């Protein structure tokens, strides 16, 4: 039976203080993410699911209950979110990813502007994604709640996410209150592009296999 666990962070809760305060990080990881993990395990136990691969489950999430969709998405999305943050981030992409960003969006600054626009346009809770479409090209979208481009319940914007920005209020409210735009602007100063580059290569491999 699948039993998922809360991933450990590779940095301390106060390591991203320039953007995300210690209290927000602690609550976000220990309470919100832990709740998604716990509820996902319960939902999968009720479904008698034996598949240990969360990505596989999300790719056919339409076969499952809303509890699997919401909590499976919550676990996957947050795990990706923690992995791409760093107190000593690489602030500019290089190589293939940089080339594709320029080809698709014009520049890194244009990509940031498009993601900010998507983040501000997401009504209520949700996420903003940079993802690799099944054609291999890059695209940006937003999704409500804990949905992501991997899920088969989406009719458009399907692909493999490589960068996600959490725009649920619990991700930023203690520091920014209702100023989501400020959070979206400062997010880039703790985004580690080296991690996104790795996820980009992994996404391309998955699409090609």
DSSP state of 54: H
3-class SS at 19?
coil
Residues annotated within a binding site: 28, 78, 166, 170
Please check whether residue 130 is in contact with residue 173, taking contact to mean a CB–CB distance below 8 angstroms: no
Please check whether residue 165 is in contact with residue 80, taking contact to mean a CB–CB distance below 8 angstroms: no
Residues annotated within a binding site for Mn(2+): 28, 78, 166, 170
Per DSSP bridges, beta strands 138-144 and 126-133 are: antiparallel
CA distances from 124 to 26, 109, 146, 167, 178 (A): 22, 25, 12, 8, 11
């Amino acid at each position: 039976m699948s039993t998922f666990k809360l991933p450990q962070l590779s940095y301390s809760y106060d390591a991203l203080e320039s953007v995300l305060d210690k209290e927000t990080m602690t609550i976000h990881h220990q309470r919100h993410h832990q709740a998604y993990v716990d509820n996902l395990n319960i939902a999968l136990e009720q479904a008698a699911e034996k598949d240990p691969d969360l990505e596989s489950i999300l790719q056919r999430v339409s076969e499952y209950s809303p509890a699997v969709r919401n909590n499976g998405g919550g676990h996957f999305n947050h795990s990706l979110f923690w992995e791409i943050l760093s107190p000593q981030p690489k602030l500019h992409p290089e190589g293939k990813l940089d080339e594709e960003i320029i080809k698709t969006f014009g520049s890194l600054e244009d990509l940031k502007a498009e993601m900010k626009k998507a983040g501000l346009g997401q009504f209520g809770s949700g996420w903003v994604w940079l993802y690799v479409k099944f054609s291999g090209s890059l695209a940006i979208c937003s999704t409500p709640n804990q949905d992501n481009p991997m899920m088969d319940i989406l009719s458009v914007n399907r692909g493999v996410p490589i960068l996600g920005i959490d725009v649920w209020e619990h991700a930023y409210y203690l520091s920014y209150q209702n100023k989501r735009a400020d959070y979206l602007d400062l997010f880039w100063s703790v985004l580690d592009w080296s991690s996104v580059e790795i996820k980009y290569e992994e996404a391309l491999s998955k699409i090609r296999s």
